[in-house]
Structure 1
Amino acid sequence: MSETVMDRAASATPKKVARRIRGLSDRTIAWLFVAPTVFLLLAVNIFPLIWTIRLSFTNFRANRPNAEVKWIGLRNYERILTDSDIWLTMQATAHFLIWTIVFQVLIGFTLAWLINKKFKGNDLWTTIIVFPMMLSPAVVGNFWTFLYQPQIGLFNYVVAFFTGADPASFSMIGEVALAPWAIVIVDTWMWTPFVMLICLAGLRSIPDTIYEAAECDRASKWRQFWTITVPMVLPFLMLAVLFRGIENFKMFDLVVQLTGGGPGNTTTLTSIDLKREAFEKWRTGFSSAYAIILFVTVFGLASIYVKALNKVKER
């Protein structure tokens, strides 16, 4: 039946078209199918990038479309790199980025190592631990905002006990020094399961025969951990750090839900600052230069990190 349909299709194809198709290589035919998708991706990704680069050299404002657009060269970049407030914002972003990754890696790897022991109720505890990352950041933000309210939040009581503050009026997200740590706690709670799952995949990819050979050589559990487990899980761990680093560098919704960037500017990350410049102050050219600097920073760091990751994989 299928041969009859194919024969009919072949006979219905014009001879000129049939000759052209027969003359095409498999590679060319493959590109004909892939070309529309490639063109769409270039249109969606490359064109906005080029347009943003162009705007970064101008004084364009989106709320004044009829105003004269002047070419000002590198002035926007100079303003950004010499603005002390922007450097403080970058420091706040670096603080958030480093500490969330440190806590998520330590806790996530520990949880993965424990779950890999395959104890009774393993599947139930895995589901419970993974639950936070299933929630929307907006839901998590509202939930933890409620927990950080005075007289309710556990963390408020603990910190108030050590600082001598009144728990009835104390809130971590209202304190200049503690608000950044409040966000770190929430992001760690939400995304540690993600790191745990990647580490768990790495742990379960290690053949049992390697541990059996190490036991035959009378290697201790501690020795096995540092010479077998850690080196073989390290590529997975580095991959998790890469994913979480990129995501946390552009963190926006969770921080806005919790603190809105305050108190003061202690939790104003670069993504929030960029949004304010683009859609509150309407400094489109300035914000375009800001976005390009952030893009180059992330792309450069990620490229260096990926090279290091590839070297670790080759060992």
Structure 2
Amino acid sequence: MSEKTVDRVARATPVRIARKIRGFSDRTIAWIFVGPTIFLLLAINIFPLIWTVNLSFTDFKANRINRAVEYVGTRNYERILNDPDVWLSMQATAHFLFWTIFFQVLIGFTLAWLINKKFRGNDLWTTIIVLPMMLSPAVVGNFWTFLYQPQIGLFNYVVAFLTGKDPSSFEMLGSVDLAPWSIVIVDTWMWTPFVMLICLAGMRSIPDYIYEAAEIDRASKLRQFFTITIPMVLPFLMLAVLFRGIENFKMFDLVVQLTGGGPGSTTELASIHLKREAFEKWRTGYSSAIAIILFVTVFGLASIYVKALNKVKER
């Protein structure tokens, strides 16, 4: 902005307002700009959390708002800890979390290492690999539901070709044993590019002179990989694990599109169990307690993990 424009704006400002503005400190002006954002965060995040905590100690039901609400203390939490369905959903969530993160880290790091070699067509392959991450979970769910169909699904024919069995015998979404793996495969396909990009950023942040110094010391490529690449990429890799762990712990839309939480409770993750308690059984107070337990679990594990991540960065 030119000095003439500034001077013109200053002259156009009413004297009474100009005097007030001139009397504001830098801190006051900063609060004028930051205040609305803080208020919005409190209204959207903090207030619903406090309200949920309050509901978790009651027997409130959202479909019967005229019903008298009774304060039940910690009864909801006690029932949750003794509810086998809750523990089954947590077990399904743990299974989903472990295998998705394992495969995404393994495949994502490998792809990042290969793409970092900067071969011919590097940019084209990077774009192709990243495409699944750009799709909506609803689109991905419908797309893979079609691929998993026993009669016309391409996935079944590929598996049948590799195993020599009848394609119609593979009921991925209807099988108790295979349904959990079906959502692991889809989530890995969709989000491995995310891990790859973070690992690739870590690899390309390593200065070339470190590898040059290692070559002067006659370090082999394998030794360079384990003593330079992995230690320096590890903070980036741990960051990717943190992001994917938080997201997959609250995974909902993709699983609903693929299996709806079935068959049985094999793919009923904690978020799906919470949805059924809240919007199918209308046990709002009980489901609020589940939500608080999930929040405390994620927050506690993430806090411990961040401390470990900071220690790795300080090395």
Please tell me whether the aligned partners of residues 151 and 169 of structure 1 are also in contact (alpha carbons under 8 angstroms): no
Aligned to 1:30: 30
Residue 114 (structure 2) pairs with residue 114 (structure 1): yes
CA displacement at 1:171 relative to structure 2: 1.4
Q: How does 1:168-247 map to 2 (within 5 A)?
A: 168-247=168-247
Give the match for residue 90 of structure 1: 90
Query: Which residue does the alignment assign to 2:307?
Result: 307
* Residue range with higher mean Cα deviation, 210-219 or 1-10: 1-10
Q: What does 1:65-104 correspond to in 2, within 5 Å?
A: 65-104=65-104
Q: Partners of 2:152 and 2:312 in 1: how far apart?
A: 46
Q: How many Å apart are 1:32 and its aligned residue?
A: 1.4
Identity across the alignment (%): 83
**Normalized against structure 2, the TM-score is what?**
0.94
The one-letter code matched in structure 1 to 2:296 is: V
- The code of the aligned residue for 2:50 comes to I
Question: What is the CA RMSD across the aligned residues, in angstroms?
Answer: 2.0
1:247-275 per-position Cα deviation (integer Å, ceiling 9, x unaligned): 10111111111111111100000111111
TM-score of the aligned structures, taking structure 1 as reference length: 0.94
Question: Residues of 2 paired with 1:153 and 1:203: CA distance?
Answer: 38
Q: Work out the CA distance in 2 between the residues paired with 1:135 and 1:13.
A: 49
The change in CA–CA distance for 1:13 and 1:134 in structure 2 (over 3 A counts) is closer
Unmatched 5+ residue regions in structure 2?
none
How many aligned residue pairs are there? 315
Deviation at 1:168, TM superposition (A): 2.3
**CA apart distance, 1:202:** 0.5
**8 Å Cα contact 2:156-2:168 kept in structure 1:** no
Q: CA deviation at 1:166?
A: 4.0
Moved more, 26-35 or 288-297: 26-35
- For 2:41, the aligned partner's letter is L
- Give the alignment of 1:238-277 within 5 angstroms: 238-277=238-277
Q: What is the deviation of 1:27?
A: 2.2
C-alpha spacing 1:126/1:8, structure 2 compared with 1 (3 Å): closer
1:28 is displaced (CA, Å) by 2.2
State the alpha-carbon separation in 1 of the partners of residues 277 and 66 from structure 2: 20
Report if the CA contact (8 A) 2:60-2:69 is conserved.
yes
Secondary structure in structure 2 of the residue aligned to 1:176? coil
1:219 aligned counterpart, secondary structure: coil
Matched AA of 2:301: L
| Contact 1:175–1:263 (8 Å) recurs in 2 | yes
SS in 2 for 1:285: helix
Do the aligned partners of 2:274 and 2:291 also contact (CA within 8 Å) in 1? yes
